[in-house]
Structure 1
Amino acid sequence: MKGRKSGNYTNPCLTMHQPWASLLVYGIKRIEGRSWPAPIRGRLWIHAASKVPEVSTIKAMEDFYREIYAVNGISDLKFPEHYPVSRLLGCVEVVGCVKCEELASWEMVPEGVRLEGQTDYFWLCEQPRKLLIPFEMRGYQGVYNLERKIFEAAVRGLTSVESPLPVKFPIPNPRDPFSLKPGSISMLFPNPKASEVEKSSSLSAAIAGARSAATQFSKKDNNLEATIQINAHDSMGTGQTPSRFLEEDKLPSTNLEEKSHEKVLASSSNELSSRNRYEGSS
């Protein structure tokens, strides 16, 4: 808990739903949309949540990426053969974070990238690498630290990924690796104008399908979150430790609807102890 709250990350990891998790590790997905700015720069491990993706969800997202890559003339995309769940998949390099309106007007990045999301903040990802053999582990809410033994095993099994259209996000100040942050693009271009990409009927349909896929379980999970928060508050008010906690929170695996996420409940004190170890308090 201390590691996440203070930003003291050593081997940060983010749990995401499938198919978005694999699409990010395979370099097809290039930005991760969230309602909160990226708390890190550098390597971010990607873990796939336990929810098995529906065939229709996979098709919707693959169709979406086919269409937005076609905007930049890329027609031959190789998607993952499988979308494993409850597995550590690989990692990406988070090089910065910008606001929604900044990305929309940032003409220095490909048009397709600007079509990827509609959330408040975009985590900009480069250098995807995948594990040759994804291995099983559990995930937790927010950004958390990998357990040391898991990190040591994972770092030996990484292999580079050939992205269909690699993106190098320009850093405003090459001497400052943290200069690509919310507001930095607005400072460079004080009078931004959103770049409108002409949308064909197939592109518009793909965007609508991706939105539908992203929001299919958001209402159910939001209700669950509210119930758990009330129960936790009641327990803390009596001086008792809550008997349940969210194992996987803020799992929006798509930029199109960040609020879609999965909650997994654990009920034993042993699980609570395991969670604290995974989150890496220093």
Structure 2
Amino acid sequence: MKVLTIWQPWATLIMAGAKPYEFRGWIAPVSLQGKRIGIHAGKRPVRKAEIQDLIVRLRSANAWSTCLKPEALPLLERWHQRPDMLPVSCVLGTAVLGRPRSGHDVAAEFGGPVNDSDRHGHANWAWPLTDIRQFEPPWPMRGAQGFWDLQVEDP
């Protein structure tokens, strides 16, 4: 199985269903679209300032800029108080990677402005993540940049 390392709090927001897209500057490999991938929480320490920024934006008229669902706010408020609640350096679960979409299109889905630029094709890519399955407990593991391989046995 291919696994993608994502920093916290975003990895756990995906597992909670509050972050339906992962944003990258590159399109996901066609060979992985429609496939189940692992979601790994990177080793990087949780940054309270990043959580605070998300909280402020979710409470503002620019909530669309986070591309998070409203249920992310109470989670972020709790994690801001206790960032150690977020696991790091572990595979949290899996999700099905959908066909990437333009980041501008997804921002519009959340109420953001529609892109009027002629550079529309240069937008970040939004990777839909659906059919979330959490591991309980998460699997401690080192990650890597980009996609990496995890050997798992079928049950």
1:79 is matched with which residue: 75, 80, 91?
A: 75
Q: What code does the residue aligned with 1:56 have? A: A
Q: What code does the residue aligned with 1:18 have? A: Q
Shift of the 86–104 alpha-carbon distance from structure 1 to 2, 3 Å rule, reads closer
SS of residue matched to 1:36: coil
Q: What code does the residue aligned with 1:88 have? A: V
Kindly indicate whether residue 51 of structure 2 is the aligned counterpart of residue 58 of structure 1.
yes
Question: Which residue of structure 1 lines up, in the alignment, with residue 117 of structure 2?
Answer: none
Check the 8 A contact 2:18/2:70 in 1, yes or no: no
Question: Which residue of structure 1 lines up, in the alignment, with residue 97 of structure 2?
Answer: 94
2:131 is matched with which residue: 97, 104, 127?
A: 127
Write the distance in 2 (CA, Å) between the matches of 1:13 and 1:33: 15
What count of residue pairs does the alignment treat as equivalent?
133
Q: What code does the residue aligned with 1:46 have? A: I
Deviation at 1:141, TM superposition (A): 1.7
Structure 1's consecutive aligned runs of 4 or more residues displaced over 4 angstroms after TM superposition are 73-78
Question: Which residue of structure 1 lines up, in the alignment, with residue 111 of structure 2?
Answer: 111
Shift of the 62–134 alpha-carbon distance from structure 1 to 2, 3 Å rule, reads farther
Shift of the 88–98 alpha-carbon distance from structure 1 to 2, 3 Å rule, reads same
Check the 8 A contact 1:33/1:119 in 2, yes or no: no
Question: Which ranges of structure 2 fall in alignment gaps of 5 or more residues?
Answer: 80-84, 115-121
Check the 8 A contact 1:62/1:79 in 2, yes or no: no
Larger radius of gyration: 1
Deviation at 1:101, TM superposition (A): 3.5
Higher strand share: 2
Give the TM-score normalised by the residue count of structure 2.
0.69
Deviation at 1:143, TM superposition (A): 1.0
Question: Which ranges of structure 1 fall in alignment gaps of 5 or more residues?
Answer: 1-10, 157-282
Question: Which residue of structure 1 lines up, in the alignment, with residue 3 of structure 2?
Answer: 13
| % same residue | 29
Higher RCO structure, 1 or 2 (CA under 8 Å, sep 6+): 2
Question: Which residue of structure 1 lines up, in the alignment, with residue 149 of structure 2?
Answer: 145
